């Protein structure tokens, strides 16, 4: 998985939780899901994108959050995800609360 695998933790002392919080920036989170009881990774309980469960992507200070059907690695190549990013950059919102 490469050298960054050591950063893929979410406990209190993890790398991501030691970074400065971007309170002066608006943050939007797009999480991947399969849209079923079980996600792409069957070793994880519940829906997931094959790498992470959507609830684990939350930072607690995000302005908007949305789940999109798709695997983790493929989300960046989805036209709809690109449209969501542009919408968020323009308005500070994804403009929808539905899962896609």
Name every residue whose Cβ is closer than 8 Å to that of residue 33 and which is 6 or more positions away in sequence: 39, 47, 48, 49, 54, 67, 68, 69, 70, 99
Please indicate, yes or no, whether the overall pTM of this predicted structure exceeds 0.85: no
Which structural domain range is residue 99 located in? 32-100
Structural domains in the chain (count): 1
Confidence (pLDDT) at 88: 96
Q: How confident is the model at residue 1 (pLDDT cuts 50, 70, 90)?
A: low
Residue 22 counted as domain residue: no
Residue 5 counted as domain residue: no
Residue 6 counted as domain residue: no
Residue 94 counted as domain residue: yes
Q: Mean pLDDT across the stretch 61-88?
A: 95
Residue 18 counted as domain residue: no
What are 13-61's pLDDT values in tens digits? 777 777 776 556 788 999 999 999 999 999 999 999 999 999 999 988 8
């Amino acid at each position: 998985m490469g050298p960054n695998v050591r950063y893929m933790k979410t406990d209190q002392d993890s790398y991501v939780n030691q970074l400065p919080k971007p309170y002066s920036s608006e943050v939007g989170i797009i999480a991947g899901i399969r849209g079923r009881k079980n996600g792409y990774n069957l070793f994880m309980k519940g829906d997931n994108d094959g790498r992470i469960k959507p609830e684990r992507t939350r930072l607690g200070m995000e302005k908007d959050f949305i789940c999109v059907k798709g695997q983790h690695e493929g989300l960046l190549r989805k036209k709809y995800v690109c449209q969501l990013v542009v919408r968020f950059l323009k308005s500070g919102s994804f403009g929808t609360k539905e899962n896609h």
